[in-house]
Amino acid sequence: MKDGFLRVAAASVDVKVADPAFNKESIMKAVRRAQERQVKVLVLPELVISAYTCGDLFWQKPLLEESKKQLAVILEETAEIPMVIVAGAPLLVHQKLYNCAVFLYRGRILGVVPKHNLPNYSEFYEARHFTPGRREVEMIRLLGQEVPFGMNLLFCCENVENLVLAAEICEDLWVPLPPSTYHALAGATVICNPSASDETTTKDTYRRELVSSQSARLVCAYIYASAGEGESTQDLVYSGHNMITEYGAVLAESGRFENHYTEAEIDLQRLAADRQKTSTFVNDDGGQPYHRVYFTLEETETELTRYFSRTPFIPSNKEDRDKRCDEILTIQAMGLKKRLAHTGCRHAVIGISGGLDSTLAVLVTARAFDMLGLPREGIVCVTMPCFGTTDRTYSNAVTLTKRLGATLREIRINRAVEQHFSDIGHDINVHDVTYENSQARERTQILMDIANQVNGMVIGTGDMSELALGWATYNGDHMSMYAVNCSVPKTLVRHLVRYYADTTEEEELQKVLLDVLDTPVSPELLPPVDGVISQKTEDLVGPYELHDFYLYYMLRFGFGPAKIFRLAKKAFGADYEDAVIYKWLRTFCWRFFAQHFKRSCLPDGPKVGSIAVSPRGDLRMPSDASPSVWMAELDRLKEELGLE
């Protein structure tokens, strides 16, 4: 349960119709398996104790009494097991029969939730046997305990923050306004659904979409346990289709047509973070008060088995990735198109270096010009070689400009920068930050002045990763009139350029784009060694794949350094030692705070994803905020890891 992770499971067990004693044994097998895996919440199918397909046998007293007896046995046999078990059972209350989800925990019945929406069509006749449950909660006597009974029940864990369980049963999910909607608005973060959904062709697709979309709408985790093959009788077949979803993502899903045990770790902190940030998610019990039942779980550290992408900004599937890249390029171009049209500019000025960021910027600008029907000659690409420029990047900048049909201007800035060094009394042999930034600011001055000459605007090239780290020269490459890459992380820049290369029909353009992709990331502000780039950004500031990972989880969910480290270790542990992951995480946190003043005055630029660092919307952060809380957590983590 550390860091908000909770292991949960859904199990379809082997049942015999109308044989509660046999079914109890199958249930206990699933319970013991879940116990070995340190599962904290186990959901079993609808009416699992009796079996769902008993039909008119539900009117038989022997079946109901035996079901209740076996429920008592399960309660006794799980008295020492620290796991919430949600099992379906038929229960008589006030001479009426209800289809119920019974919440069991360590010999205690936490509560009983009755099904409300009873199907009564085609092959289903639940309304023939059961009474619809009501939202109001009352106390009933069950197996010698005073037990809350009703739909409006929330099961709240006192020692696991944000763990609030609720239930709806099978058909309850398939109606226009499912009970889980009210449960989530009242505070439930995990919805349990004991179900018995029969199998027909393509129904699994609809069922999957239904469960995942409900978890997305409700910003919750959803545990769906469906009846397995033992229920197949007469005209119907049951497949045991289990799912565990979290905010729209399917974390785990079983196969079909055999009984399955399915488990996953849900992230309660992530759900809480999204609810906190979503202003339209308003807690409201719908005018029907909820009864809250409290319990305490045994605290353990959940071993993570779920997958964490090394590139959270980038889809792993090629088809999805290509679609995302095309969409982002269009969003960037549409933003620039509006700015150009609004200002009446027919020229754009871009500092072209032969690197990834300026390459993406000129590709986006070309697309915007095409949208406006403007000739690409109006794109003025300025290459400004200086002390660190290599033949490779210079050649790529020139070739790229020509292949796109833009206008190329070459202005060597060596003498201007040397004059500036003389003016301010700086030794040209001292390769410090003044040496580097003077070149960046000289280039920006040239771009701004050329923009005045041609009545155009300077297009910024810097990306979001650089902005997060403050890896930009203040009033140098930091400044422009419209920054097309400002919400694109460095790892995504590479994929956007690659997508353009893969989809262009011009062979020479593709060739130069591929060479840009193969070139090390560098500002090229220090002299090359034997004609080769000597200043590699990732050697200085750290791997961008790590920094983008840190950026995503810090800004998207507000996670602290310790949890981010844990996730990074899971994602990158095969390639980076703990000390390396920690080193660059500490660098990221320190620079993120120390350099925010640079982000406070950023130019406009298009937002392309769920994360951006614009001071006008997505990151309204004080420029002088203290990082002490984050650094203290890093210090504690360092001590735990035993790092020097």
| Catalytic site positions | 46, 115, 170
If one counts every other C-beta atom within 10 angstroms of the C-beta of residue 319, the result is: 8
Distance CA 344, CA 363 (A): 20
Label residue 216 exposed, middle or buried (CB < 10 Å: 0-12, 13-18, 19+): middle
Positive or negative, the Cα torsion across 139, 140, 146, 152? negative
Distance CA 144, CA 135 (A): 24
Q: Which CA distances in Å does 22 have to 17, 232, 357, 421?
A: 9, 16, 65, 88
Task: Tell me the H-state helices in 203-265.
Answer: 203-218
Distance CA 188, CA 182 (A): 9
Q: Which CA distances in Å does 89 have to 19, 94, 226, 500?
A: 12, 16, 14, 58
Contacts of 285 (CB under 8 A, 6+ apart): 152, 182, 185, 186
Q: Which helix (H) or strand (E) is 566 found in, with range?
A: helix 561-572
Distance CA 3, CA 114 (A): 33
> Which of 567, 551, 550 is CA-nearest to residue 2?
567
Q: Which helix (H) or strand (E) is 164 found in, with range?
A: strand 164-167
Please state the three-class secondary structure of 400-439 as a single string: HHHHHCCEEEECCCHHHHHHHHHHHCCCCCCCCHHHHHHH
Cβ 606 vs Cβ 332: under 8 Å: yes
* Cα R_g (the chain), whole angstroms: 31
Distance CA 33, CA 39 (A): 9
Q: What is the DSSP letter of 314?
A: S
